[in-house]
Structure formats: C-alpha cells, structure tokens
Structure 1
Amino acid sequence: MNKIVSIGPAPTSPLAAEEFVPMRDGVRLATDVYLPNGDAEPGDTILIRLPYDKSGTYTFIPLVAEYFMTRGYRVVAQDVRGKFRSEGETLLFVNEAYDGYDTIEWITRQRWSNGRVAMWGDSYYGYTQWAAVSTQHPALKAIAPRVTGTQLGEPVEHRSNDITRGVEWGVTYLYPLSYFHSQDAYFWELDLDRRPFSAQVEEVLAEIGSRSISYDQWFPRPVHLRRFPAGSPFDARPVPVLQTIGLWDNCAPLSWADVAEIEKRPVWAMNHFLRIEAMDHESFYLGDPADARVAERSVEQVRGELPRMLDAVLDFFEIFVRGKGSASDFPRVTWALAGTEEVRTSASWPPPGTVERTLFATSDGHLATAPDIAGTTARWVHDPADLVPSSVDNAFAFLLDQPDEAPIGDRDDVLVFTGDAVEQEVNLVGPVMARARIHSDGPVMDLFIRLLDVAPDGTALRIARGQVQLADASRPTAVEVDLGQLSYRLAPGHRLRVHVSSSDFPEFIPQPGTGEHPWSAVDVRRNLQSLMLGGDEPLMFTLSVLEES
C-alpha cells in the first residue's frame, strides 16, 4: 500500500489580514490582504489566485507579497475554490473565470483600492490570470503569467479521425489526485513496476476515503471541461500581458501555443510582450551555480532570486497599471541566449536575422547537411517492460539536476545521430521541427525526439525535445514533431546530437504495445518500431540560426 502524506494550510502570514470573499453563489474564498506599512489609503493592487496554499512554503507567496509591497502595491493572495482555507467544490479549471471576476470586483470596493488591478503568477496561477481576462472586468489592467498556458493540464484528446496526437504526460492523471483531490494536498508514490496504474489510484482513493472529482472527469472517459464559460480569453478585450516562457519548462509547448493564438489577433499582438528565459518550470536557471540549485530553497535564497523574477514585472506594471510611460518604453521581446550571459531584446520573435538550416539523419549515425540518396530503414524495439528512463525525477525541475543524457544513447532502443563539431559558435534561435516517416508492428506508436548539445568531454545537455503519437501505426506515415523553440549558443568544439526513442518514462505514460489505454493496461507486448532514413522521406530537422556579422 502507498504511503500517503497530506498537507494542510500553513498559518496566515503576520504581514497579511485574512478575509473570506463571497463569490456570486455564496461560496467564500480565503484571501490574504497585504497592505504596505498597513496603509489603507487607495492604491494599485496585484492579485494572485493559486491552489498551492497562499501561506505555504512551496510558492513563497508571503515573500513575493513583501517584495511587491516595497513598490507600494497592495497584494491580494487567494486560495482558489475548494483549496486549503477556501470553501466550495475542489474542481480543476472550471470555476476560475467568474471567481476571478468576482474577486476583482470585491477588490475594487475596498477602501484600500483605487480600482486598478494587475495579476501575477506561475503555472496554475498563471492560468487563473487568463481565466480572469476572459470575463473582461474593466478593473483588470495588466497580467504577467509565467510558465503556463490556457490549456494547462488538459488530457490529450483522442478523436477517431486523428492521425497523430500528443503523448500523455504522467502528471496528467496524478495532478488531480494530489493538489485537486480536496482542500488538503495529498502526495504518494506511483509504483512504476506495477500495472495497471489505474488500480493503484483506486487503492489510494479507498485509503483516503473519498474520490477526486477532477480525476473522475478525466479517467476513464474524459469530459471536455468548460474552462472559459464567458468565451476564450483571446476573444476578450485585450489587456497588456507580459508572458514569461522558460526554455527548459516542460509546459513551454502550452505557452508557445498561446503565443501562436495571440499572433493571429492583431489587437492582442499589440498588447503582448514576451520574456524568454533560460529556466525550467520551478525557476531553476541554466547558469545557476551548483550550490544555488537545491530542491528546498531557504528564505534567504528566495529573497535573493526575487529581483530577477519580479523586477521586469514591476517595470511592466509601472507602465500599464500606473501609467508611468508608454508601451514603446518596454521591449516587445526580451530573450536570454542560453549558454551565454547575454540577455537581448528585439521587436519580434524569432528576432530578425534568423535563417533556416536543415540537417538529415543518415544510416551511419550522422547528422549531415544532405540526406542519404538511398532510403534505408532504422529499427528498434519498444519494450514496455524495459522503458527508456526519463532523465530527471522531477520533470518540472529539469535544471535542478542538469542531467547528462549521453548514457541514454547507449541503449539498444535509442537511435543516435551526431553532427560534426562546430568550428565557430552557432546561435540556435527560433523554432525546431523534425519530420519522419514511421510505423510499427504494434497498433499505436510513440515517437520521442531529443536534441542535445554534446560537449568535448562527451557529456550531453538536452536543449530541445518533442514527441508525437501515431494513432494507427500499422502503415508508414509521415509525421511532424515540434521540438519547441531554442535560444541557445552552441560553443566551438560542441556537436549536435539527436536521440530517437519510443518512451520517456515516467514523465510520459508509455504505450503497453497492445493498443489498450496505457493508464489501465494490464498486459504488455514488445513492438518493433521503424523509421525511414534517406531517400524521398528522410528523418530531417529544420533549425533556426541567427546569423550575425
């Protein structure tokens, strides 16, 4: 039986006064109000709505509030509906739009509010900002979502006419069992060697003595949640948005999908500002020294990191909340060139000066500028009993470990293709796409592609990745794999390498080889996977390179 740990709410910060704010249906949400120096005079407010305990140590909201108050902002931090001290049903995503509106309305009626509200936060509390935007409260003047997306946490949709679709994250079914089971948070370890995984969930729910509504809505028959009952946030009145994306954030594809939606709407694009940082979901940075990369950061460490996390946000709010300056005073795109200490700005992303370069995987294991003339087939075995392991225990904190992924390439079920060492630095800036023709003797095939930077000592850092699922793998099919966006300097003497596989476990739920649902499958079967090299449909990669004089 799994050992289950439950975590309840921490004590309210002595800097805050807790209020219980009524929503339109009478449910009251626990809300901490921080007033700088106890000043009850009207001022600008920053709202943070999150499910991770407004007073807890995981998101250190009291320290964030303290930092915001140094610039004169009132701060309102709220446990979302059904979480920790808040009343109501614990349910992912669906109540955040109108709960956000009602909370903003409540703020505007307080004597310490001047009627101007901004929102800030990461991940789920970045999502709550987009939800509030969808309801178009006139007092919401700007938002600053980090490492998030409007489709955060949505299970992969399996439609009968899909040729390809996404590969399901392992966290998809675990998240509603941990943070969204009930008011408290519950943590337990999935036994990765015991199938079906769904049976372990039932054991845990039986021990807790109650079910998770959100889990039951997603498994075994997913319900399409009405996240935005007032309409898509991108169809709402635009508000200025400073969007922060981490280059190593596992949720970055969701962020880039929102960027693509914004670019389709000229008025929204005019209000959109982008920060691209060399960090992961938990705000560990590539360039951090080893002694700064610790799983449990101290109060002193957190305080030391707040300026790089919040100063740009405060500068943004000065312009778009307080009206001190104009939009032209803030860079449209700010981007870190990973592998250097450079932070650059540009008017667009990718920045001007990028050109496409194409590389081809060849039968002798190279990445070359031209494909093999003759087509050949590379094969490997996907064995659900011996899966390619994920390189980190916590996918949200990839840069905490910055793992060497070279050893993964030693496995027989991983194809490896390596380029020549570059003689001069190469700035890889912009999108990376792969195209492959694949099939399997199993019914469903997952394809994982990882792009690595191999140093002269042989260690390999993953710099981009993507994955796709072929719904009917019985016949050869051309697929495209989006590997995301790069902003990375390949140093002289370094080489690019590609790893191709059919699993990345436990970060992604692996195919059992039988075509059954991977979460509930009991039996497993090995599959022989095939991929074309050379000929008319080679495995090829399109990268963006920033050329500079």
Structure 2
Amino acid sequence: MSTTSTDPSTGPRWSSTPAPIDTRADATMLRLRDGVRLATDVYLPESGRRDLPTVLVRLPYDKCGRYTFMPAVAAYLNAHGFAVVVQDVRGKFRSEGERFPFVNEAADGHQTIDWIVAQPWSDGTVGMLGDSYYGFTQWAAVASAHPALRAIVPRVTGSQFMDMFSPGVVPKLPLYEWVLHTFTSFGMLDGAVLPTEPLAGLDSLPEYATHMATLLGDLVRACGDGTLLRRSFPAGPPAPAMKLPALHMGGWWDNLQRSQLDDWRRAGASPAAAHQFLRMNATDHEDLELREDGVPVDDHETDDDALVRYLPRMLDEPIRFLDHYLSGRAGRWRAPRVRYRVANSGWQIADRWPVGDVDLVELHLTEGERALSGADGGALRPRAEGTGTSVSWTHDPLRPVPYLVAVEWSQLSGLPDEQVVHVRDDVATFTGESQDTPFDIVGPVEVALTVDADAPSTHVIVRLLDVYPSGRARMVLEGAEIASTVAGPARVRVRLGDTAYRVRPGHRLRLAISSSCFPLYLVHPGNDEDPWHASSSRAARQTLRVGGSDGAVLRLPVRKRLG
C-alpha cells in the first residue's frame, strides 16, 4: 500500500501503462456475467501435471508489476505444485469495469473461482493468499461462500478495515491517500494527493482533483450509514461466521493490525475456530523487520537479490498450510496455533491470542505539573496520586504536532527519534522508571483518560514509546479517538493495538498525549466545523485529568511485574 511522493505543485502523475505480462503467464480476459472482463494470468508448473490445487490472488496494484512481484510469487508456488491465478480487480490496470473499493470483490471473486474449477488443469480446490487489499479480496471470497474455496492466508489486512473511514474515527490520512492513489485511476497515482497544509481540506483540492473529493465523500457516507459493509458482504461480515481454515499473518508495526486481530478474535468464536492460526512478526505493513539501527538488512521491494531471499520467509509457511487443507488431509494442520515474535527478543508459541500467562498492570499518569516540562514530563507509577490534578495545553490547528515517520506503510524503514516532539508545549509526556531486568509487553494495550476542551470535541492521540538510556524515544504503539466535550469532560478509551515487545534493562516506557499528529491524522479545527471542510479554525484549550478516581491510566499485559 505504500505510495510515493513528489512536489504536490506539479499535480498527480498517472501510471497509465501496466508492466509487461510475464512470459510464463497464460493471459486471458475472464468475462463475468455482467459482461465486464477481468485481466487474469494463469501460471502452471512446468511439469505439465493436471489436477492441480490453485492459489488465487486478486489485487488492484498491477498483477505484473514489481511492487507486488506476483510473477516471482507464482514461480515459487509453481515449484511447490500449485497452479496460480493472478487477477487485476475490476477497473484496475488491464481489467474493465467501474472502480469503487470493496463492493464488487465478493461477486467477482465467486465468479473467478467458478472459472478456475472449470479449467482442465484444476483439481476443483482453491486457496487464496495476499496482503492488504488483496487480503480483503480473500475475505470477500469467503463471504461469497464458494464451495471450492478451502483456505485463505490474509496478511496485514482486515475484513472490515473500511471501518477506518467511519465518521466516528479520527481520519488517518495515509489510508485516505491510499484510496485516491489506488481507485482514482485504472493505474496508480504517483505523488502527493491530499493537501499538505494542516487545514487545507477537500474544498482546497485543485480543479483536476474534484473527482477525488467525490470518491472520498461517497466512501465516507457509505461507511457511515452501513451501506459499504452491506454491499461488500450481503450475507453479513465473514469472520464471525467463518467456516474455512485461515492463516492470519501480520506485524506489530502494521497500521492495519487492529483490524487484522479483530478478525482473528471474531473467527476464534466461529465454526472453524480450531482451524484458525495466527503469525505475528516484528514487522510493518510492507513486511520490513524491526532493526536496532533502523535500516532494513534486505529491502525486497527494490532489491531483486533481496526478493529471492525474502520469498521463502514470505511463502514457506503458507505453502505448508495450503498444502494441508487443499490436499484434503484429515484433521487440523499440525502446527502451533499461535506463533509470535517478541520485538528485541525472539519467537514464541502459544495456544491462543491474547496469551494467558501475563499480568494486567496499570500504570497511572502522575505528576501532571511536570507533564509539559520537558521530554520526560510527568511520571508513570503503579499507584495513582490521592488527589486529582490536571494538565492543560493549547491545540493550535495551524501549528500541529508533526508526525516524524517518513512513510506510514513502511515505518520500519527507519523509526525516528521522537524526543524532539516531546519537548513541545502541546505534548504531555509521562515517563516510567527504568528497570534492572527486562520485561515483555504481550497483548492488547489501552489507555483510559478523562479530557476536556473549550470546543465541542477534540482529538486524543496517544503514543507508547520505548525510551533508551541515551534519551532516544522509539514508537511502539499509537492510537487516536474523538472525544465529545460538548457536555463537559469525557472519559475516553484509546486502543493502541497489540504488541509483543521486550523492554530491556535501563529502558523506560513513555506515554505522549497530544491533540494532533499531522500528517498522520486529520487536524481538528478547534471549533464545531467538519475538519474536511473547515473554513476557519481557533486555538482550543485542552485539559487532561491526572490522578484521583478519574485520572489517566495505562493498561499493559506484562510478563514480570513492574516494580
């Protein structure tokens, strides 16, 4: 899902020419019942064997392009005995039809599987794999209930990640930009799309981009009234009613991990619960791994030699999983149900997620009078202060707190030192004490807090950081919520997502709380106007309760209690 950036003054550049079709592919235009034709490539093993299980991938990013390296994936799967079908989704690259995200994938996927099982090389079984939007197309195919679909491998995705476009969610701008990059044209847009100024909303888009505003408006409305979910899944969301085996794969720094793990939890209560497997790595959306120096050892997105080394890590376990369920072997796949990597440590196995061998630790935000006094600010302590206090700052929409990560989708290409942000007068920080021995945070993390603002609502943005002995602060998790303050102080629960993270000796935890983080999140105007169409703004006073019965508290699932 990563996008590139250019000087926004030049406007977008259209990627109008798909990459050449791979010489090993048998290309066809698959005609659907409504007459639309979908560009479809078939890769078969050189052995010429018939009666093959098939792996289907349906994606909007060019089935022949280097970004998704599908020809290399197909060759690797062919070598392991699978036929492979790769398809441009409706309206993208070589495929015909009208573009709109999500809504056509169930029906189009069902008809594509119909076509596959009618081919002479098919044994009548189909599995699917893929990342991000082509993880969503798997969930859509599950919802279509095709009997030939036997197993899926959704990675860094979620069946309902479109919920992030709901009006009640703080808009995450990289996701909105992804929609425009991907679904405005039959190709992919190159360059900045959304305005780069904090309050330059959709009304400030240049004339050539008015159709982009229409696309976003239609998407937000359809998500807000439930139309998008109903059109995408006419029979209802697929995860709670899951009947197929699934290997859920994600990363702790993937910005869709909350949606991914929501699916895991829902499917865990489904009829196929025993055949759900989870793999979580210390990786981001592009599957780059966490490195201490912040520089990936292998960048498989650009380096062909690195791609050759990456393919086994990407595909070997999915191949074993798909081979078991597509071959008709009896019983459950013989593998650990949950395998996860503790960042700064190693891999562990479990029979469930969240795991059970942790203590829920509450760290209270204290010493609020110091929260704006420097990078360390106030304190995180096991007990709350007896009497409540508060800390206040001014949210200036024209001077938002900056987001320092260069590319949201590939955060681990270089996690920045955040301490430069923590000395601002509009970022409240609370830092814990260093520990003599390591401890692991394993599971979902959340913050409960009480906020007020001299505006009808405000954004509450919370970041959990690992503070090094040197003072360097590295982001572990983040989350945001909208607080309605029209009737006074509001109690807010901020989900930061899940992690498995080792805090090493001499390191400390820090919470950073602010009302903005741009350009990660849309900036609140400080008044009652819609942030997308605000014609004015005002600096708004924000107040956070610290200590007492309604003070802020950080809830951590921890192995080894903090002292």
Indicate the TM-score class for this superposition, using the shorter chain for normalisation. Answer: over 0.9
* SS of corresponding position for 2:161: coil
Residue 277 (structure 1) aligned with residue 277 (structure 2) = no
**Deviation of 1:288 (Å):** 7.8
Tell me if the contact between 1:169 and 1:508 (Cα under 8 Å) persists in the aligned partners.
Answer: yes
Q: Cα offset for 1:500? A: 0.5
Cα distance in 1 for partners of 2:117, 2:59 equals: 20
Long gaps (5+) in structure 2: 1-8, 371-377
Q: Which residue of 1 aligns with 2:61?
A: 52
Whether the aligned pair in 2 keeps the contact of 1:360 and 1:370 (CA below 8 Å) is yes
Query: Separation in 2 of the partners of 1:355 and 1:273?
Result: 24
Task: Map 1:433-444 onto structure 2 (within 5 A).
Answer: 433-444=446-457
Q: 1:260 to 1:194 in 2, by over 3 A?
A: closer
Write the distance in 1 (CA, Å) between the matches of 2:506 and 2:235.
54
The residue type paired with residue 214 of structure 1 is L
Aligned counterpart, 2:104: 95
Residue in 1 aligned with 2:50? 41
AA aligned opposite 1:393: A
Distance in 1 (CA, whole Å) between partners of 2:98 and 2:423 is 49
The AA in structure 2 aligned to 1:258 is D
Q: How many angstroms apart in 1 are the aligned matches of 2:242 and 2:494?
A: 33
Q: How many residues are paired up?
A: 537
TM-score for both structures, normalised by structure 1: 0.93
Give the CA deviation at 1:516.
Answer: 1.3
- Give yes or no for the alignment of 1:228 onto 2:233: yes
Equivalent position to 2:467, from 448, 454, 469: 454
In structure 2, what is the equivalent of residue 157 of structure 1?
166
> Is contact 1:142-1:239 (8 Å) kept?
yes
Aligned equivalents of 1:211, 1:382: Cα separation in 2: 29
SS in structure 1 at match of 2:308:
helix
Paired residue for 1:119, among 124, 128, 135?
128
Shift of 1:152: 2.1
**Change in 2 beyond 3 A, CA 1:318/1:296:** closer
Q: Aligned in 2, Cα 1:251/1:194: closer, same or farther, shift over 3 Å?
A: closer
Residue 332, structure 1, aligned to residue 337, structure 2: yes
Partner of 2:5: none
| Range that drifts further, 331-340 or 227-236 | 227-236
Percentage identity across paired residues of the two chains:
38
What SS does the aligned partner of 1:69 have? helix
Q: Is the 8 A contact 2:458 2:515 kept in 1?
A: yes
Change (3 A) 1:272 1:143: same
1:416 alignment counterpart: 429
For 1:32-431, list aligned pairs within 5 A: 32-37=41-46, 39=48, 41-158=50-167, 165-189=168-192, 190-193=194-197, 195-205=199-209, 214-218=215-219, 224-225=227-228, 226-234=231-239, 236=241, 238-265=243-270, 267-287=271-291, 290=295, 292=297, 294=299, 296-324=301-329, 326-327=331-332, 329-340=334-345, 342-363=346-367, 364=370, 365-431=378-444
Distance in 2 between the 1:247 and 1:316 partners? 22
**Alignment match of 2:529 (pick from 494, 507, 516):** 516
* Structure 1 pair 181–542 and aligned structure 2 pair: CA distance change class (3 A): same
Cα distance, 1:69 vs structure 2: 1.3
**SS in structure 2 at match of 1:285:** coil
Q: How far apart, CA to CA, are the structure 2 residues paired with 1:418 and 1:216?
A: 40
The answer to whether the 8 A contact 1:136-1:236 is kept is no
3-state DSSP of counterpart to 1:456: coil
Gap change, CA 1:349 and 1:99, over 3 Å in 2: same
Aligned with 1:496 (options 509, 512, 516): 509
The separation in 2 between residues aligned to 1:494 and 1:205, in whole angstroms, is 47
The Cα of 1:89 is off from its aligned counterpart by 0.5
Counterpart-to-counterpart distance in 2, 1:82 and 1:213:
17
> What secondary structure does 1:100 align onto?
helix
Once the 2 structures are TM-superposed, how far is the Cα of residue 455 of structure 1 from its aligned partner?
1.1
Equivalent residue number for residue 161 of structure 1: none
SS in 2 for 1:458: coil
1:153 offset after TM fit, Å? 3.3
Shift in CA distance, 198/105, structure 1 to aligned 2, threshold 3 Å:
same
Q: Report deviation, 1:212.
A: 7.5
Distance 1:219 1:478 in 2: 26
Alpha carbons 2:467, 2:509 under 8 Å: kept:
yes
Contact 2:64–2:70, Cα closer than 8 Å, also in 1: yes
In angstroms, what is the RMSD of aligned CA positions? 2.1
Shift of 1:473: 4.5
Q: 1:473 to 1:394 in 2, by over 3 A?
A: farther
Choose the corresponding residue for 1:534, options 547, 550, 560: 547
Whole-angstrom distance in 2 between the partners of 1:73 and 1:233 = 26
Q: Secondary structure at the match of 1:329?
A: coil
Q: Does the aligned pair in 2 maintain the 1:169–1:507 contact within 8 Å?
A: yes
Partner residue of 1:4 out of 12, 25, 29: 12
Deviation at 1:48, TM superposition (A): 0.3
Deviations 1:402-445 (A, max 9, x none): 21112211111101111110110101111111110111001211
Deviation larger for 72-81 or 347-356? 347-356
Structure 1 residue 545 corresponds to structure 2 residue 553: no
Write the distance in 2 (CA, Å) between the matches of 1:234 and 1:3. 40
Structure 2 residue matching 1:247: 3-state secondary structure? strand
Residues 197, 519 of structure 1: 8 Å contact kept: yes
Displacement after TM superposition at 1:187 (Å): 2.7
Counting only pairs closer than 5 Å after superposition, residues 9-20 of structure 1 correspond to structure 2 as 9-20=18-29
Q: Is the 8 A contact 1:247 1:485 kept in 2?
A: yes
Cα drift, residue 291 of structure 1:
5.4
CA distance in 2, matches of 1:40, 1:199: 57
Amino acid at match of 1:215: L
Q: Unpaired segments of 5 or more residues in structure 1?
A: 159-164
Offset, 1:507: 1.1
Tell me how far apart the structure 1 counterparts of residues 362 and 499 of structure 2 sit (CA, whole Å): 15
Mean Cα deviation higher: 322-331 or 267-276: 322-331
In 2 relative to 1, CA 472–38 (structure 1 residues): closer, same or farther, beyond 3 Å? Answer: farther
Paired position in structure 2 for 1:525: 538
SS of match in other structure, 2:477 = strand
Distance 2:133 2:70 in 1: 14
2-structure distance, mates of 1:308, 1:423: 35
Aligned to 1:162: none
Deviation at 1:330, TM superposition (A): 1.5
For residues 494-543 of structure 1, give each alpha carbon's deviation from its aligned partner in whole angstroms, at most 9, with x where no partner exists.
11111010111111111011221112213111111001001111110111
Q: Cα gap change, 1:213/1:139 in structure 2, threshold over 3 Å: closer, same or farther?
A: farther
Quote how far apart the aligned CAs of 1:299 are: 1.4
Distance across 2 between alignment mates of 1:485 and 1:72: 36
Structure 2 SS opposite 1:279: strand
1:370-421, Cα deviation, whole Å (9 max, x unpaired): 1111110111111111111112121111111121112211111101111110
CA distance in 1 between counterparts of 2:46 and 2:461 reads 53
Matched, 1:505 2:518: yes
> CA shift at 1:235, angstroms?
5.4
Q: How far apart are 1:352 and its partner, in Å?
A: 3.1
